[in-house]
Homo-oligomer: A and B are copies of this chain.
Amino acid sequence: MRLAEYPREELELFYRNALRDYEACKAKGLRLDMSRGKPAKAQLDLSNELLRLPDGADCVVDGIDARNYGAVDGLPSCKRLFAEILGVSPAQVFAAGNASLNLMYDVVAKAHTHGLLRSDKPWGRLGRVKFLCPVPGYDRHFTVCETFGMEMISVPMTDEGPDMDVVESFAADPEVKGIWCVPKYSNPSGIVYSDRVIARLAALKPAAPDFIIMWDNAYCIHEFEGEYVPFPDILALCAAAGNPDMVFEFASTSKMTFPGAGVACFACSEANMAYMKKLMAAQVISYDKLNQLRHVLFLRDKANTLAHMKKHAALMKPKFDIVAEALERALGGLGIARWHKPKGGYFISLDVTDGCAKRVHALMKGAGVVMTGAGATFPYGLDPNDRNLRIAPSFPPEAELKEAAEALCVCVRLAAAEKLLSA
């Protein structure tokens, strides 16, 4: 039965039980962190071979000494590796440093200071710049918009991607300059964009000539359940739809090897590449090609990389199962929470009773469990319904995660009961 339909007496009993469970939970003195999509130590250990590479001292590859200056867009062999994984051509790939966030920031920063390839003027000289933000979404995307004073427009997510009717309608506004997308295992909802949604995105006819799709393919090969799910080449789709320069795709090895010491890339049309390389030349002589070489030697090719990702999957799936089972067992059928069970990525998005997300977050904090801030999945940190929470199960060991998931369920039950009783 849905909690909202409980007779008052039973609701009060439910509340007292929840409160008792919460006190028991607090008494455990937990100190857990489920706040960020951080790989666990065991996942990092999967790539420790990187620490010994390049083996022997020969660092010359593609005729380039990876230790020295040069090759601003990366080692050709590293470009080839990313190209194979993303299904694009090596000439479309710019291989860089350790963080795709850096590259996303760079693209938006260049738009702000210099304009993009098809801009009439730098965005910083325009009166107003609006950006579409599918919600719930990734807080760091929103922070990039915020730091440049852009107006963020929330676009609801459906279970096959952003609501394209809404996207198309907003794209008719020339002040709307772009959209953030995490097309596979979206952060945090875990949704995979459908082919239909992707086709509509690629065929978008925005009013702004320099509208940009920020295609953050952070989890492109990050299945933890089932086989690898192929994904379309967004660059080719945009080009086929007459929008060759409308997209920058981003990826990294952060969640393949070491989050802090991986290699990131962007992929774009060759015209965008020429334009960006010219602007980047003022900023950088070259990225860490030695680390690119390490990754080429370790990951080798797409097939080997997918095999490596299976090892991550083996560590990740039990953790997602722990959370899913706890949620199902403690919250199923009560009508006080909704969640999607993803097959890849790093998050579970949990919608609790409207008006209760902050309360749940505070209760969790009281019980010693840090979660991503309530509201963080929305622009400006403002969840209009105060209902979304992001669960990041990867980092804690299984035993701790179990405790954290159970604590979460207790808090969701308690907050829902409080709300109903006070109504």
Contacts and interface: CB of A to CB of B under 8 A. Distances in A.
Interface of A: 36, 38-39, 41, 44-45, 47-48, 51-54, 57, 59, 65-70, 97-99, 101-102, 105, 109, 112-114, 124, 140, 143-144, 146-148, 254, 258-261, 279, 281-291
B147 A279 contact: yes
29 contacts: A38-B69, A41-B65, A44-B59, A44-B68, A45-B57, A47-B67, A51-B53, A51-B54, A51-B59, A51-B290, A68-B258, A68-B260, A69-B259, A98-B287, A98-B288, A99-B284, A101-B283, A101-B285, A102-B284, A109-B109, A109-B283, A112-B113, A140-B282, A143-B281, A144-B283, A147-B283, A259-B285, A260-B290, A261-B290
A99 B57 contact: no
A130 to B, nearest CB: 18
Q: How many copies does the complex hold?
A: 2
Nearest to A47: B67
Give the residue among A109, A112, A144, A148 with the most B Cβ atoms within 10 A: A109
Contact of A113 (B59, B109, B290): B109
Contacts of A143: 281-282
A334 B27 CA distance: 89
Contacts of A97: 97-98, 287-288
Given A67-B259, A67-B260, A283 B113 contact: no
Contacts of A254: 69
Nearest to A97: B97
Contacts of A147: 113-114, 279, 282-283
Contacts of A146: 282
A101 to B, nearest CB: 6
Give the residue among A148, A282, A289 with the most B Cβ atoms within 10 A: A282
Nearest to A395: B68
B286 A260 contact: yes
A421 to B, nearest CB: 40
Contacts of A99: 284-287
A106 to B, nearest CB: 8
Contacts of A258: 67-68, 290
Contact of A38 (B66, B68, B144): B68
A384 to B, nearest CB: 23
A147 B283 CA distance: 9
Contacts of A144: 282-283
A148 B259 contact: no
A391 B278 CA distance: 25
Contacts of A282: 105, 140, 143-144, 146-147
